Amino acid sequence: MKQERKLLRQMILAFLLLLPLTTVLAQTEEPFDGPDEINTAHSHVIKIHPLRIGEITASYEKQRTSRVTNEFGMSYIYKSYTRDVWAPKGENVFGVGMFSSQRHYTSKKHDTPFGFYHGPVFGYRFIKFEEGVFDLSEDAPDRRYVGRLYQNAMDLSYQVGGQFQMGNHLTMEISGLLGGRVKYAYSKGARELITNNIIGYVLTSDESSAVMITPLPQLVLSVGYSF
């Protein structure tokens, strides 16, 4: 577990080090309409994301320049999916997730943060599965002690979408993301149980852990309040 905690700390540190990058990029981005033309009536947006299956997610978007915003979000994860015979199997979990993005708005008909946008998204997730997730039978010939399953993941995607004003302050957005997710799964003594159950292409594995990669297409829908 010491190795797993060390890796978790390193992954969180790496994510936190990436957060200032979006601010630096926003500051160096040359705005379309001048450095002072920020939409002060709607320069902040608080959102909820109802389409994120198995988690409760909220985010905050802030305008940086006339055409660039940064968004930061957090999730409480209560369900994750493992590989099964016919379809992914939902497992009850406890987890947290966070993401950070930079958006470049391109519409000349709408003031930022409305209209079409694109930009990179970085994410991190930590998930703790319930004990007995591998469901080893009592009379299995290879019955052995298997520790609780933990999973860490880092995401990198590119996002294209649009955010629209539905009322004085009500907003709605829809976007698509395409990218990848690298997973590190750890369960003491699990061996092949990890690679047989965790979804993804195995990069490397050992007695108690595995590193995997998987494509990450996503559809995002959010509703928010701008101010």
For the domain that residue 106 is a member of, what is the CATH number?
2.40.160.20
Q: What is the rounded average pLDDT of the residues 127-142?
A: 76
Mean pLDDT of all residues belonging to the chain: 86
The pair phi, psi for residue 13, each rounded to 5°, is -60, -40
Domain that holds residue 36: 2-134+142-226
> What are the tens digits of pLDDT across the range 162-208?
999 998 999 999 999 999 999 999 999 898 999 999 999 999 999 99
- C-alpha separations of 184 from 16, 36, 152 in Å: 18, 44, 5
**Alpha carbons 223 and 38: distance in angstroms, whole number:** 22
pLDDT of residue 140: 57
Tell me whether the omega of the peptide bond preceding residue 113 falls within 30 degrees of 0, making it cis. Answer: yes
pLDDT of residue 67: 94
pLDDT of residue 88: 86
Count: domains in the chain: 1
pLDDT-derived band at 211 (thresholds 50, 70, 90) equals very high
What is the chain's alpha carbon radius of gyration, rounded to the nearest angstrom? 20
Q: Tell me the β-bridge partners of 212.
A: 183, 202
If we measure between CA atoms, which residue out of 179, 186, 54 comes closest to residue 123?
179
Most confident region among 5-19, 74-88, 111-125 by mean pLDDT: 111-125
Q: What is the DSSP letter of 130?
A: P
**Alpha carbons 124 and 110: distance in angstroms, whole number:** 32
Is the separation of the CB atoms in 107 and 145 below 8 Å? no
For residue 153, pLDDT over 80 is answered with yes
